[in-house]
Structure 1
């Protein structure tokens, strides 16, 4: 990696970031992808709903994507975290990597994704990604007609239970205490044959990652093949907030046409938008963002040449910054 000034720096190496890198690479743009290696679906064995790649292990998907990007020598990768991002002169962005190296980019794409917040249930980590799931669209088919549990309270639990009726009728809503359901919600669940269990959960029982039962205070054992939950996701990076991007009440990054944020030059794609959170949608958003980025860069360059300026003026570099940029031995 020899460049220190890029057309675009992409922060995040998941489906959104990789798809954007592909499009921008094919647009002859100098691109740096910063991948911290913390994908949301790290625990999942397979990735579903992605045409031509249905059932592929997430790690294999990323490996295939990276292999295909090797043909574009203008696309580079940094295996590590971005520790700081700031505005720089001449409409550039200053990006600091975790080894102290500083890079500059004309455009930024934030594709850092989100992290699932697991419920505080005993042994849940043992089953996460195998028989404890967050997304019925990702894992519902494999559990069609199976007995499943839903963990959740209030509208979150109700909506997850309702969603799962597309795949199975054997559903129990386990709220681990008072459910907080409205009377109308409780009535609708009952009429759909969904039991609401408000007893405290003492354990998730099973072995080798396979859930067998949910255990409750008082000794009840509810046989289940899987558990779905709907708890708030955590945005993996605060970069957008630091740069001044508008954030929704739900914590998502607000964006407009071609995934542009409220800050000029900053784009966003993937689960940080918190819309439909599927890998194929994240990839599509990355493609849209790349289209918007290249469109913006092309217009800027075209208008500069029309005024007689041949190149974008880069930000000044001080001696300390230059030293940090020297390749690591």
Structure 2
């Protein structure tokens, strides 16, 4: 378009281009009569009508287009200072979509069953644990109960030390309200913890609350490695998996890897060769690393089979020398 193009002409042109269903680079070079902010608004509104088509805006003009750039940035729209940056990103998008079209031997080897669990609400705690158990992601022992009369029976199944948590699908961040009590070593301490959490439920008016009793990972000793593992669904890029180091290593080795779905054999090889992969290999045996990779692939397939799931949080996954297991479980829709 020529320099005197109005915001409406940008809108009309974009409406034609989106029919090709390909990334669009929008180059805005303002003239005297240009309206940067109004043009940015038309770009954003058009994108809302066609969210599956990537819009990459390049707004030239320095301070004159600052408001327009800020408008797009605040709405998570890609915005660049120079055209070559947008072209580089389109190249990355092409690589990504080519990657998604492939099939991969590693995933084909997975034998776990994946299905749409029809998850319509956020799921946490034991309810989420059961879902992950069903697809082969190991976790600490845990069970859910509702009243004080179940304390002794539950403790006999889980053993000491244990952890008591409030279980409610409306409570995503338990630590904020003190809904987790660690290091319970005997029946008396467990009873005190139960009374304390019961009071928190009442004071915070937590709906449909029950209790979850879990193994305390500290019983395995200090020699363990915490891994941050999760998944996210982006409206444009689809599923992606995140893996990184937690605990004391998070500050020493600040490395988190993001893998686009579907995860490929090449992704796995790059993970193994990364600093993160080397730390895991040096800490645990190869079987543990292979099993962790299996968790990644299972989460990948779970996200593909459950389109309503937006985020998964398994933080932390605990690695020992010869085994691993998840300790916390969250599914967001």
Same fold flag (TM > 0.5): no
TM (normalized to structure 2)? 0.22
Higher gyration radius (CA): 2
Q: Which has the higher contact order (CA 8 A, sep 6+)?
A: 1
Structure richer in helix, relative to its length: 2
